[in-house]
Amino acid sequence: MKRLLILILLFIFPANAEWVEVSEKHKHLGNFSVNESCNIAIEKAQKKALRETLGIEISSDVVSKCSEVDGEYDCERNQLSLFQLNGNIVGLNIIEKDDGKDENGIRFCEVTVKANVVPIKKNNDSSFFFDVKLNEEIFRTNEEVKIEINTSKEMYMAIFQWLPYGGKKYNVITKIFPNENFNKNTNDLVNGKLELAYSAYFPEEIKKNKVDEYFIFVASEKPINWLDEYAQIEGLKRQFSKTNILMEKHYSGYMLIR
């Protein structure tokens, strides 16, 4: 009986898992329901738990757009999905939840949670890294999106584009590099600098004035047979969990406007 109990505990709490307690608050002017506001606060708390446990760094342009694009709720969920490419939250307990108004009459929901975070294998080689720069943060249809990548050493590069608009057509992860349908340059072995250019396109089917999109950059020491498309971001995340190949990941967000 004791052996069975130990095995169950090991299954429930994977190796290297860490429980962390964090608090987050979402403020609004009454334009969110109580459930929506508290859900945003919980999403923020999960991101904070991942960031504090794993030391996640994410570009400031991705973070800053959360109050600007398509509602804060969608943006928080998108960012949480990006953070989860580095780790999994395998347990979440809501310890405290408080909904009300502050002294200025601003509504809020504040939550305190305990999250059990399991890291996905990360790059521990300080000599294996790269930097990414986009020419702009906001684009219109037919404008050129220029990407500049600088690598510390020779590495294999893949770039995925995530359009989290919803629907079957757009909520997919597409490998845009190497991919001759998007760029004639298909040499994924980069040593030094890689410069790419793509044309921005605002989807006419989307009935919004602005949308957020994301690039996910993955460098590896050996070539990886990535799929050309993943139906959900979780599918890409599973590949990071499976492989023992040294990898480094970066994310960059930008906005499209009509």
Q: Do domains 14-119 and 130-257 have the same CATH topology?
A: no
Largest CA distance in the chain: 66
How confident is the model at residue 205, as a pLDDT?
80
The fold of 130-257 is: Immunoglobulin-like (2.60.40)
How confident is the model at residue 58, as a pLDDT?
55
Residue matched to tokens 């919980």? 42
Tell me which DSSP letter residue 89 carries.
E
Query: What dotted CATH number matches 14-119?
Result: 3.30.1660
How do the domains of the chain map onto residue ranges?
Answer: 14-119, 130-257
**Residue 181: what residue type?**
N
Half-sphere exposure of 54 (CA within 13 A, CB side): 26
What ranges in the chain are assigned the alpha helix state H? Answer: 2-12, 34-54, 60-64, 72-83, 167-170, 233-242
* pLDDT tens, residue by residue, 125-157: 889 999 999 999 889 999 999 999 999 999 999
How confident is the model at residue 192, as a pLDDT?
93
Rounded Cα distance, 258 and 249, in Å:
30
How confident is the model at residue 13, as a pLDDT?
41
Could you give the angle at which helices 72-83 and 34-54 cross, rounded to 10 degrees? Answer: 30
Question: Does pTM top 0.85 for this prediction?
Answer: no
Rounded Cα distance, 136 and 155, in Å:
25
How confident is the model at residue 100, as a pLDDT?
92
Point out the residues of the chain with pLDDT beneath 70: 1-17, 56-73, 166-168, 242-243
How confident is the model at residue 11, as a pLDDT?
36
